[in-house]
Amino acid sequence: MAEFENVKAIAVHDPDSRYGSDMEAEAPDHPMDSPSAEATFRKLQEWYQQERERQAANRYQMALDEDFYDGLQWSEEDITELESRGQAAYVYNKIKPTIDWVIGTEKRTRIDFKVLPREEDDVDGAETKTKLLKYLSDVNKTPFHRSRAFSDQIKAGVGWLEDGIRADPEKELLYSRAESWRNIIYDSSSVDRDMEDARFIFRMRWVDLDIAQAYFPDRAEVLRQAAMGQDLFNTEMDDEFWYLGQHFQARDAKGEVIGRRSFVSDALFFNRRERVKLIECWYRVPVCEKLCRGKGFDGAKFDPANQAMVAAYRDQAISVVDTVRLKVRCAILTEGHMLVDAESPYKHNRFPFTPLWCYRRSRDNAPYGSIRNIRDPQEDLNKRASKALFILSTNQIEAEVGASDDWDETRAEAARPDGVIIRNKGYQLEIKRDSVLAEEHLMLMDKDAKMIQDVGGVSDENMGRETNATSGKAILARQDQGSILTAEIFDNLRFAMQLQGEIQLSLAEQYVSEEKVLRIVGNRGKLEWVKVNQQGENGEILNDITARQADFLIGEEDFRQTLRIAMFETMSEMVGKLPPEIAIQMLDMVVDLSDAPNKEEMVSRIRKINGQRDPDAKLTPEEQQAMNDKAIADAEKSKAEKSRFYAEVAGLLAKAEKDSATATNLQVDSHGKAAETAAMLAQFPQLAPLIEIMIAQSAKQAVEQAPPAMPPELPQPMMPPSGGPMDGMSHMEAPPGAP
């Protein structure tokens, strides 16, 4: 009854709104019977009736989807027809293992979350809030409720999660739970996945009359009028009667009547237990408010009674703006009267319900699950299996008139595998078995089964069955294909978890204000105790949850198990080819990618052997002190090396100034220091200007001490060999006697 504890808490937070603000000349017997309350009731009731009628056809299909998962895959008309033929309505449920694989994947790969600070000095506060949400997740069994909602998401098309507060002092103030899609009627005009554009959400619940009167004693008579004895049908199933209509029939898109399916057992009839149907409505109304803009109060409603807020406004640290926004309210009503109407006490101004969508139809945004598109091949598979078995189990007799004196006995003998058939002489009698037609039905059954896997996105490789894929790469490729086909489903789940986490964090920051000791269970079962809202020695509040706001972020876990396995195999192969001294340093990363049990302990021991530490672990005081000592020692060592280098450079400069040797000697000495200078420059780049000065001075001194250059030699004239015809003569002169 957490939902009505929530409503009771809401009524306590807003008593004025509950009893109405307008006072008529003649006050009614109850504030919820006033004209304004009656107008609100009529509007909410109209929304409710319209949505029930608008969503009836699709909700009927959602109920059929769940029936197919549960093995209820034949309509009553089909069963009656088969029985008249002598056939059996067999069910070969290929849908269930496909859906179970998707549901099991979510349970095996539940993802983690963390809270991030909004300010630099609030890191410890965000870590405390992370631990608080993990504690609430443990005590409320949130992962199991989320898995239940995910099951509705896959089967019916949408699941719902609820987060709120309750007034029971024996239980945790904040709660999280799953809500059945059958109890929720939402604004079908909404398009956004987070339903920020939705105007309302209804939640229906049948409650025993005495329990309802205990929650709302001032409306006991109204509740008694609304209660009804269940003499005709089980009120838990009234939705199905609404879907099917007065004649318990449903129609397809063409308006034709489809096979009727019964949702009500005869054992549930004639139940005289008095119950009343309560309808809880969360709806949005436009309001004009003054909101703050500025550090510390950004987005908060301006409260003149808040001295800190008034002081910040006076100091111009914040500004106040008039705005129109949609404010969430909550109402409880029966089919004929209003019980409660109050403003939502939650600061997040959202609906307390978080939807988990599977798929949404483009035409009207109606949800549907993974079963919807594989119902037809599943139904065809069942019919063909029944037909094939009927053909193989029966025989046909073709005979002339007068071939048998007792046809009943002949038919019975023909059906027996060892039957003896006696025919009259001169007449033809033949037994026919149409085994070829049965084989064709069986072949089409195999195609139906394959179609279910192809459309459902779960292959035999995903389920670990043996197939014709022999190589590891082929198996991984087919497994990855199945993961891709279901990626949208898990992406919607992650989005829903993000929305739910934001609501949980907002509730914690608003309501967790008392001193509390949280018990946190680590990955290896280690207990950790965290104190929040504790008063310090000087009166300050330590680990104040409500002091600041933070942001919720889900972990980056990958739902595709096959991808992580492929990464593990790739890393193992790569590390195996590295030298042993390098491979041992990367071993912790490889083991961390595996799915081995107790892998955290294995990784911890490997890092301990290698002298490594967990990069995500918080430093202990001893480790912090050792790190500080190492930083101081490194700084002193660097300072000593700088001093030594400065001394060497100064010596080089002094030597350059005093050395009166030749440039050749100076250059030889400089080249001798080149390697050492380059190494020092690489280590201390800040000394580059000093080294440039030294090089410039050395170059200048080399130029001044260099000897004068020798003039270049002139080219000599080319002379012929001695004793030749041109001996002693210029090569430009003609020989004697020449014309």
Average pLDDT, integer, range 24-33: 69
Instruction: Quote the percentage of the chain above a pLDDT of 90.
Output: 21
3-state SS track over 560-623:
CHHHHHHHHHHHHHHHHCCCHHHHHHHHHHHHHCCCCCCHHHHHHHHHHHHCCCCCCCCCCHHH
Q: How far apart are CA 188 and CA 195, in angstroms?
A: 10
pLDDT for the residue numbered 138:
86
Helices (H), 371-469: 375-393, 407-415, 435-456
Angle at 360 between CA 203 and CA 377, to 5 degrees: 110
Alpha-carbon distance 327 to 325, whole Å? Answer: 6
pLDDT tens for each residue of 218-229: 999 889 888 865
Length in residues, the chain: 739
Provide mean pLDDT across the span 275-296.
89
* The two structure tokens encoding residue 155: 């089967």
Quick check: 64 and 261 in contact, CB under 8 A? yes
pLDDT of residue 714: 43
Indicate if the pLDDT at residue 78 is higher than 50: yes
The reply to whether the predicted model has a pTM over 0.75 is no
What pLDDT was estimated at residue 736?
43
pLDDT at 678: 59
Quickly count: other Cβ atoms within 10 Å of residue 730's Cβ.
Answer: 8
> What are 306's two structure tokens?
């808040």
Q: Is the pLDDT of residue 565 over 80?
A: no
pLDDT tens sequence across 132-190: 888 888 889 999 999 999 999 999 999 999 999 988 888 888 999 999 999 999 999 99
pLDDT digits (tens, 9 = 90+) for 334-359: 988 999 999 998 988 999 999 999 99
Of 88, 178, 169, 174, whose CA–CA distance to 136 is shortest? 174
Split at pLDDT 50, 70, 90, the class of 721 is: very low
Q: Is the separation of the CB atoms in 343 and 332 below 8 Å?
A: no
Q: Please state whether 598 falls in left (phi above 0), alpha (psi between -120 and 50) or beta.
A: left
What torsion, rounded to 10 degrees, do the Cα atoms 717, 718, 721, 724 define? -90
Looking at the DSSP assignment, which residues form a beta bridge with residue 187?
Answer: none
Instruction: Look at residue 729 in the predicted model and tell me its pLDDT.
Output: 39
Burial class (CB in 10 A: 0-12, 13-18, 19+), 308: exposed
**Torsion sign over Cα 180, 185, 190, 195:** negative
The mean pLDDT value of the chain amounts to: 75
Q: Please state the rounded mean pLDDT for residues 578-597.
A: 76
Question: Please, which residues have CB within 8 angstroms of residue 342's CB and are 6 or more apart in sequence?
Answer: 10, 11, 13, 14, 17, 18, 329, 330, 331
**CB contact at 8 A, 2 and 352:** no
CA distance 675 to 693: 17
From 394, 422, 427, select the one nearest 410 (Cα to Cα). Answer: 422
Residue 578 pairs with which residues in a beta bridge?
none
**Residues with Cβ < 8 Å from 2, sequence gap 6 or more?**
162, 164, 166, 175, 177
CA nearest to 645, candidates 668, 693, 678? 678
pLDDT tens sequence across 669-719: 555 555 556 555 555 565 565 566 656 666 566 555 555 555 444 444 444
Would you state the pLDDT for residue 361? 92
Q: Give the lowest-confidence range in 57-66, 90-99, 103-112, 686-695.
A: 686-695
Q: Where in 485-557 does DSSP place strands (E)? A: 516-521, 527-532, 534-535, 541-542, 550-554
Residue 130 to residue 553: CA distance in whole angstroms = 10
Average pLDDT over residues 253-278: 60
pLDDT band at residue 474 under the 50/70/90 scheme: low
Task: Please name the helix (run of DSSP H) or strand (run of DSSP E) that holds residue 201, with its range, or none.
Answer: strand 200-208
* 155 within 8 A of 369, measured Cβ to Cβ: yes
pLDDT-based confidence at residue 280 (cuts at 50, 70, 90): very high
User: CB neighbours of 537 closer than 8 A, spacing ≥ 6?
Assistant: none
Q: Where are the alpha helices (DSSP H) in 164-237?
A: 209-215, 220-226
Residue 332: count of CB within 10 angstroms of its CB: 26
Q: For 488-531, what is each residue's pLDDT tens digit?
A: 888 899 999 999 999 998 898 888 877 777 666 655 556 666 67
Q: Which residue from 284, 300, 280 is spatially nearest to 292, judged by alpha carbons? A: 300
**Pair of tokens at residue 200:** 């309302």
Q: CA–CA separation, 246 vs 244, rounded Å?
A: 7
pLDDT of residue 65: 93
List pLDDT tens digits, range 553-562. 776 544 444 4
What is the distance between the alpha carbons of residues 651 and 676, in angstroms, rounded to a whole number? 14
- Convert the pLDDT of each residue in 412-465 to its tens digit: 777 676 667 777 787 877 777 777 777 888 888 888 888 888 777 676 655 555
Tens of pLDDT, residue by residue over 451-473, are: 888 777 676 655 555 555 555 55
The phi and psi torsions of 722 (rounded to 5 degrees) equal -60, 135
Task: Quote the pLDDT of residue 352.
Answer: 95
